[in-house]
Structure 1
Amino acid sequence: MFAVSLGDGAELRPLEPWHAEEFLSHMERGREFIGQYVGLPDRVTDLESSRSFLRTYADKATADTGRIYGIWTGGKLVGGVMFRTMDIPNASAEAGCWLEPSAAGRGLVTRAVRTIIDWAVEERGIHRVEWVVASENEPSIAVARRLGMTRDGVLRESFLYRGRRYDMEIWSVLAPEWRAARSA
């Protein structure tokens, strides 16, 4: 297993099925905060659903169609980043994230997503990375901006979540833009 330092005592590591108990505890600590715009806490409600969710991503990793990574600080799981989808033949992927309140505001998600985009572009040949975010989720939009993504558009009232319709923004970065920004 690998760990990538994110600075400030934080690290990025693969999040695997054997982390199910720790993942569930993390969801319990951040359930309402994470669940403001992300459906993950609604899917991970007990040990079996936690294990099942992580198994889904282990299967995606095996099929090269997605990945999931945890963010740990001081040995405690506090958030994560993922490629919800990876379409290697079309060289595109959709990145996502979540974080519990205790770790918010420290730049951990930006640094973690930067790490996985570097990997996707340089190692897997991904040309386009998308970021799909509720228009009201200002912290996540700020991450997209810090990563140098471009706002492609808005899908009006496209996401029904907890009985409410949300506008979803699509942000993206293309491999040439990513490389140019990284070398600047």
Structure 2
Amino acid sequence: MFAVSLGDDGAELRPLEPWQAEEFLAHMDRGREYIGTHIALPDFATDLTSARAFLQGYADKTAADAGRIYGIWLDDTLVGAVIFRTFEPAQGNCEVGCWLEEAAVGRGLITRAITMLIDWAVDVRGMHRVEWVASAENTASTNVARRLGMTRDGVLRESYLYRGVRHDSEIWAVLADEWRAARVGR
């Protein structure tokens, strides 16, 4: 296994795999209410079996080159994750996503981790377009998209039903040439 440092604050990015289901479930239990504010994941990872199934789904996506999941550990505690929710090498498109426990918010962990994912997607895998989809109400998420230099492509009005309420989705994206040009200034 490998771990990639996210900076000098003890944060690391590591693959998150089915054998870590117990740790993943403990993370979900700690962050269930906060994480569930905008995404349904906590509603699906409710016990060891469902947590393992979720991680196995991403292991299967990794094997099919269709998605990936990486945990964010802070001082050896799993506090969040970043994902390639979709990964389409033939089309050159992918979608990144994330979540974080409330106790780990405000440290730049997501921005740093997603930057690593986009660098890899663009530089190593030759992705042309990287998307970010977020609830229009999730300002923390859309602020990350802005910090990453993404452009808001549009809003899908009332595009998904979550806990009985219809929500708008914002679609943000960065193209490979834009990403490379912005990186020169970093």
- Which range, TM-score by smaller chain? over 0.9
1:14 is aligned to 2:15:
yes
Give distance in 2, aligned partners of 1:174 and 1:3: 27
Following superposition, the deviation at residue 166 of structure 1 comes to 0.4
Give distance in 2, aligned partners of 1:3 and 1:50: 22
Structure 2 alignment gaps of length 5 or more: none
1:79 is aligned to 2:83:
no
SS of the aligned residue for 1:26 comes to helix
Q: What whole-Å deviation, never above 9, does each CA across 1:45-96 have from its counterpart, x for those lacking one?
A: 0000000000000000000000000000000000000000001100000100
Counterpart of 1:27, as a letter, is: M
Counterpart of 1:102, as a letter, is: A
1:60 is aligned to 2:61:
yes
User: Structure 2 matches for 1:100-179, cutoff 5 A?
Assistant: 100-179=101-180
Give distance in 2, aligned partners of 1:60 and 1:83: 9
Following superposition, the deviation at residue 2 of structure 1 comes to 1.3
SS of the aligned residue for 1:94 comes to strand
SS of the aligned residue for 1:81 comes to strand
User: Structure 2 matches for 1:36-55, cutoff 5 A?
Assistant: 36-55=37-56
> Over aligned residues, Cα RMSD in angstroms?
0.5
Q: What whole-Å deviation, never above 9, does each CA across 1:115-170 have from its counterpart, x for those lacking one?
A: 01101111111110000000110000010000000000000000100000001000
Residue matched to 2:99: 98
Q: Percent identity?
A: 68
> Which stretches of structure 1, 4 residues or longer, exceed 4 Å deviation after superposition?
none
Give distance in 2, aligned partners of 1:112 and 1:39: 21
SS of the aligned residue for 1:30 comes to helix
Name the TM-score, length of structure 1 as normaliser.
Answer: 0.99
Q: What whole-Å deviation, never above 9, does each CA across 1:14-39 have from its counterpart, x for those lacking one?
A: 00011100000000000010001111
Residue matched to 2:4: 4
SS of the aligned residue for 2:145 comes to helix
Give distance in 2, aligned partners of 1:2 and 1:142: 29
Residue matched to 2:36: 35
Following superposition, the deviation at residue 173 of structure 1 comes to 0.3
Structure 1 alignment gaps of length 5 or more: none
Give distance in 1, aligned partners of 2:98 and 2:44: 15
Following superposition, the deviation at residue 42 of structure 1 comes to 0.7
Counterpart of 2:3, as a letter, is: A
Give distance in 2, aligned partners of 1:68 and 1:37: 19
Following superposition, the deviation at residue 183 of structure 1 comes to 1.4
